[in-house]
Structure 1
Amino acid sequence: MPPLIWHHPEPPGRKNALTRAAVVRAAIEVADTGGVAALTMRTVADALGVATPMSLYRYVLNKDGLVDLMLDEVSAEVSVPAAPSGDWRADLRGLATSLWAMIGRHRWYAELVDGRPPFGPRTLRRAAFLLTVLDGAGLRPAVAYASLLDNYVTGTAMSVTRELAMLERFGIASTEDLQAHAAEMADDSLAGWLADMPDLTADARFELGLDCLLDGFAQRRT
């Protein structure tokens, strides 16, 4: 296995030196502003006012290490209770909606998370809680159900991100704009559906899909 940042503790501090936390914060700000495409060691170094990107490697090992640290840092924004409440559905909903809200603030997370091993301490804490809830609810194998839930959240977030990019690219600012463009291309059989298309927010669509997923889970408890 390639070296992981979790095997490399932060080096001792130097006078007027950077810190690992400062590098990670700067990288998160770069990605929040410009997306994954903007995230390079050079842009992070520039954000920190550092002359050369090579000086960052002392703190984060490599770019993969930086991404791992970023993913785990924003995972701290996901609310993880100390113990299950006894209401498995409420626990899963709370975890999923908190993750969804975090990704809404850091859209790059959904694009990067599946490409890295989930070994960060905050990530592992969340996973342990999720698996405990699923197993206690009789949803086994718990790992499979955890994957379904996480894939729904991150997959939906990726879909929303792509949709927003498409709307911006084509200058579509509202549901009415989308209906007008679609009506020009649709045949009569679709006209009524387009006219009545609900103006659901991304959050409302996410909640609807989450309810459907949890309804399915409820039918498979053992």
Structure 2
Amino acid sequence: MAARRNTTEDEPALIWERPEPPHRPVPSPLSRARIVRAAIDLADTGGLDEVSLRKVAATLDAGPMRLYGYVATKDELLDLMVDAVYAEITPPEPTGEDWRTALRSLAHRTRQAALRHEWLADLLGGRPHIGPNALAHLEATMSALDAAPGFNDIDTVMRAAGTVHAYTLGALRTEITGRRAERASGMTEQQWQTASSPYFARMLATGRYPTLAKIMHEAAHPDTDTTFDTGLDCVLDGIATRLGSECR
């Protein structure tokens, strides 16, 4: 079992409020920012399985025990990594855009960040992220809705924000799972379709799957960018329709 740093009764338990150790210039200067950056680089290259305090310490040419002064557990490190990516997603200042434009922009920025850091989709969802950058993202989302006509109470704001978040997360996980499967198989999407098309042709020829046959032969099959945009617009249109003409 990995060692972990003990905290005193007066020391804040959460990483967000716990001070860093005093600066030590030698032999290898450390900071939470450097530790998190190294962990993100490891995850970007090899996935979350590559992230451990031992591997991060080796990357920074530091002893693992030194890292426990900055980060007590791997869970804390993962929380810090997610919060660092939220800083890439959230605009530094409110944009003043209407609610649809604001939520569309945040969804696109989330997608772009997740495609840069595929591991992010594995950590979104579940328990809320409460780091300062995650809270800024949540504030940007909620404030865009709270100030808009038609969103007359905070419960409506939360339901709408949750719906957009659920769509964005689901779409990202589907897209990233597809990218991972493509890399694991060694085949591009086109190569996979070519290899599997004889099987599909035989199955569709049975007549048991008429709707799937229609999809195969008649659907547009847009690229991932268009698919994400179209789905997001359906969600936003649904929210506007539910709340009436005021918020359109």
CA contact (8 A) 1:45 1:53 kept: yes
Q: Contact conserved, 1:107 with 1:161, CA < 8 A, in 2?
A: yes
One-letter amino acid of the counterpart of residue 44, structure 1 = V
Aligned partner of 2:222 in structure 1 is 200
What is the one-letter code of the residue matched to 1:170? Answer: S
Q: 8 Å contact 2:90–2:133 — kept in the other structure?
A: no
CA apart distance, 1:155:
2.0
CA offset at residue 211 of structure 1? Answer: 0.7
1:106 Cα offset (Å): 0.8
Matches within 5 A, 1:61-210: 61-80=72-91, 82-83=93-94, 85-137=96-148, 138-139=150-151, 140=153, 141=155, 142-175=157-190, 177-178=192-193, 180-185=195-200, 186-188=203-205, 189=210, 190-191=212-213, 193-196=215-218, 198-210=220-232
More helix by share: 1
The answer on whether the counterparts of 1:19 and 1:59 sit within 8 Å (CA) in structure 2 is yes
Kindly provide the amino acid, as one letter, of the partner of residue 221 in structure 1: L
Q: State the match for 2:8 in structure 1.
A: none
Size of the aligned set, in residue pairs, is: 220
Distance 1:116 1:191, change over 3 A: closer
Take 2:223 and 2:55, find their aligned partners in 1: how far apart are those partners? Answer: 33
Partner residue of 2:44 out of 32, 45, 49: 32
Pairwise CA RMSD of aligned residues? 2.3
CA contact (8 A) 1:183 1:191 kept: no
Q: Relative to structure 1, is the Cα distance of residues 41 and 182 closer, same or farther in structure 2, using a 3 angstrom cutoff? A: farther
Would you say the 8 A contact 1:179–1:195 is kept in 2? Answer: no
The worse-fitting range, judged by mean Cα deviation, of 184-193 and 21-30 is 184-193
2:243 aligns with 221
Which of the numbers 37, 49, 58 marks the counterpart of 2:61?
49
* TM-score normalised to structure 1 length: 0.87
Secondary structure at the residue paired with 1:76? helix
1:12 is aligned to 22
- Runs of 5+ in structure 1 lacking a partner? none
Structure with max Cα Rg: 2
> For residues 86 and 74 of structure 1, what CA distance do their matches in structure 2 show?
23
CA 1:196–1:54: 2 relative to 1, 3 Å: farther
Whole-angstrom CA distance in 1 between matches of 2:192 and 2:22: 56
Deviation per residue, 1:114-155 (Å, 9 max, x gap): 245421111111111111111223345212222221222222
Identity of aligned residues (%): 38
Per the normalisation by structure 2, the TM-score is: 0.79
Following superposition, the deviation at residue 48 of structure 1 comes to 1.4
